[in-house]
Structure 1
C-alpha cells in the first residue's frame, strides 16, 4: 500500500518584498491624509481652500492605518511561528523600541524649536513626564499626552503582540490560531473596548492571510478572511463618520479601497508576487516605520513654515515635505535605529534573553 503524505507547511521565514512595497504605499497614504486634510495649513482655512480637488481623494489616506494592521497581523504570524515567546518578544522589542525612542527625541526637539499651535489636531504642551511616559509606547493608559498623535496605533500593536506571545507560549498550530481568530472576531462584534473592536478585523484578517500563505487554501481560513472583511466593511463606516474634514466623505470609496487591500494581500499570501524581489523595496520597508513615527508633527512644522515663508503652491510643499521626511527616516534608520538595535541585541543575547543577537527587521 502506498501512503500519500500531505505537503508540509512552509517553515521558512522569508521576507516578502511586496509587503514592504505595500507598507510604503500605506505610509504615504497616511501622510497624504495628514498633510492635505486633517489640519489647516494656515491655521484658519479648511483643506479644500488649498486642495479643492485633491482633498476629496487624500481623505481616504486614513485607511493606511487599517491596512497597516492587516500587514501587522500577517507579519506577526510569520515572525512568531517556530519561535519561543522570549525570542519573539526580544525581536519585536528590537524592531519597535530603538527607532521609537530616537523618533520621540527628534520630534520633541522639533516641537520645542518649531512649535505649531493652531489648526492642528493635538495639544501643544508637553511635560517631561509626558515625554518619559511616551517612551513606554503606552502613554494612553498611563494618562500622558501623546508626543505625536500617530502614536495611538502603537498601543494597539503592542497589545496585539502581547496577546500573540501568549498564543506562542501555548503553542502555535493552524487550528489554535483559527480558534483564536474566531473568538476575537466574535468578541469584536460584541464590542468591549479591550478587544479593540474597530481594529480587530484587520489583525485577524492579517493572521488568517498568513495561514493562507503558510498552509495553503482551507475553507476555515477563507471563512476567517471573509468574516474579517465583512466586519471591516461595517467598522469602516464608523471611521468615516468620525472624520471632520469640512466636507462630506462617502463611505463607498473607503469600502472599495479596503477591499482592494484585502485583494492585494490575498495575492501576496498565495504567492502571486513572489517574483517581486526588487532590492529597493526592502529599503522602502525599513524606512516605513521611522517615516510613520516622524511624519505628522514634524511635517506640520515644515509645511507651516514653508507656507508662511515661500509662497509655493501647497501641493509642492506637501511633496517636498514627504521627500524631506523620507530622507530623515533614512538617516534615523541607518544612523540610529540599526546601530542601537544591534547593540541592544548583543547585550540581550549576552544576558541570555535570546538564543542569538536578534535582528531589528
Structure 2
C-alpha cells in the first residue's frame, strides 16, 4: 500500500526511554466516553424504554425519540474506556516496579470509589423506589471493589466495569514484574488473546474469569496502540489491532443480543471503528497538537462522573421528570454531576491519594526490612 511506512526500533525488545508530550486528547476522549455512557443510562436503556418504568414512567423513545436513538448507543463508551485503559496503563507503567504500579492503581481507584459508594447509598436510602438497596453487609463488601468475585451485587450497576479493570491489572502486573518491553507486551497480547478466544469453550470457570473474554480484546487494542505510539507502527502491531477489531465487533454483537437490545450492530460497530481510527491517529502522533488545560480538568472528573451518575442520576430524574422538560432535565443533571465530580476530585481524591500513598510507601519500606 502506498503512503504507509513502518518505523522499527533497532532493538524492539529493549525498553527505550522516550519522552512524549502529555496526550491531552485522551483526557477529552475519556470525558466524551463518560458523557456518552451517562446519556445512555439516562435516556437510552431498555429499562428506560419500558412502559411504567421507574425513571421516566413511560418509554423514553416516546418522550424524546431523537435523543433515544443516539443514547441507545451510549453503552459503547465502556468499550472505549477499556481501549483507553489499555493504552494509559501501558504508558504509565513503563519503567515502574510492581510496587509502584500497585500504589498508583490504589490511589487512582479507591478514594473516588469509596465516596461514590457512600453517596449513592445515601441517595438510594433517601429516595427509594427506582433502585433496590443492598443490605449493609453487601455495601461493606462493595468497599473492597471485589464484590463481583464474591458474588455480591454492586451498589451501582456501573461498578461491573471495575471488576474487568482489576482482572486486567492483575494479568498485566505479571509483565510489569518482569519488566515492560516491546517484545514482552506483544507476547502478552498474543497469549491473552489466545486465552480469551479459548475461554468460552473451555468449560472452566476459573480460566474464563482470568481470561476475561468479554473485555480482553479492547484492552489488547489499547496495548497495541501504545506500542505504536512508543516504538512506531509495524505489521505485527497492525495485525494485533486488526484482530482486536474483529473480535471486538463480535463481542459487541454478543452484548447487543444479550443486554443492549435497543441498538443495532452496524451502528455500534461504526462508532467503535471511528473511535479506533481516532486512537490510531493519536498513536501516530497526528493529534499531539490538541492541547488545553481544560482537557486536564476533563480527564480528572471523568472517573468520579462515571462512578456517580447512574443510580443517583436516574433517581434524581425520577423525582424531577414532571417539573422540567426532559431534554433540559438531562442537561441539568449531567451538569450537576460534572460539578459534583470536580468537587470530588479536589476535595476527596487529591487529599486521600496523598495520605494513602504515604501510608503504602511506608508499609512497603517496612517489608524490605
TM-score, normalized by the shorter chain, greater than 0.5: yes
2: CA distance, partners of 1:264 / 1:92: 26
1: CA distance, partners of 2:34 / 2:62: 24
Q: Confirm or deny that 1:111 pairs with 2:102.
A: no
Which whole-Å deviations, capped at 9, do the CAs of 1:297-333 have from their partners, x for residues lacking one? 110111111114x1x2111111110000001101111
Q: Confirm or deny that 1:281 pairs with 2:295.
A: yes
Q: Give aligned pairs, total.
A: 341
TM-score (norm 2): 0.88
The change in CA–CA distance for 1:168 and 1:42 in structure 2 (over 3 A counts) is closer
2: CA distance, partners of 1:224 / 1:109: 45
Of residues 170, 173, 176, the one that matches 2:181 is: 173
TM-score (norm 1): 0.90
Match of 2:354 in 1: 342
Deviation at 1:114, TM superposition (A): 1.7
Note the 1:284-295 alignment, pairs <5 A.
284-295=298-309
Deviation at 1:232, TM superposition (A): 0.7
Of residues 251, 255, 258, the one that matches 2:272 is: 258
Where structure 1 has 5 or more consecutive residues not aligned to the other structure, the ranges are: 118-122, 355-361
The change in CA–CA distance for 1:34 and 1:274 in structure 2 (over 3 A counts) is same
Note the 1:216-231 alignment, pairs <5 A.
216-231=232-247
- Kept in 1: contact 2:95–2:179 (CA 8 A): no
2: CA distance, partners of 1:317 / 1:115: 20
- Kept in 1: contact 2:55–2:317 (CA 8 A): no
1: CA distance, partners of 2:118 / 2:112: 10
Match of 2:317 in 1: 303
Match of 1:135 in 2: 143
- Kept in 2: contact 1:10–1:215 (CA 8 A): no
- Kept in 2: contact 1:87–1:353 (CA 8 A): no
- Kept in 2: contact 1:150–1:293 (CA 8 A): yes
Match of 1:93 in 2: 106
Match of 1:20 in 2: 27
Aligned-partner SS, 2:321: helix
- Kept in 2: contact 1:32–1:61 (CA 8 A): yes
Match of 1:318 in 2: 330
Of residues 35, 45, 50, the one that matches 2:42 is: 35
Q: Confirm or deny that 1:330 pairs with 2:342.
A: yes
Where structure 2 has 5 or more consecutive residues not aligned to the other structure, the ranges are: 1-8, 201-207
1: CA distance, partners of 2:229 / 2:282: 8
Which whole-Å deviations, capped at 9, do the CAs of 1:258-304 have from their partners, x for residues lacking one? 00111011111111111112000000000000000000011011111
Of residues 171, 185, 189, the one that matches 2:197 is: 189
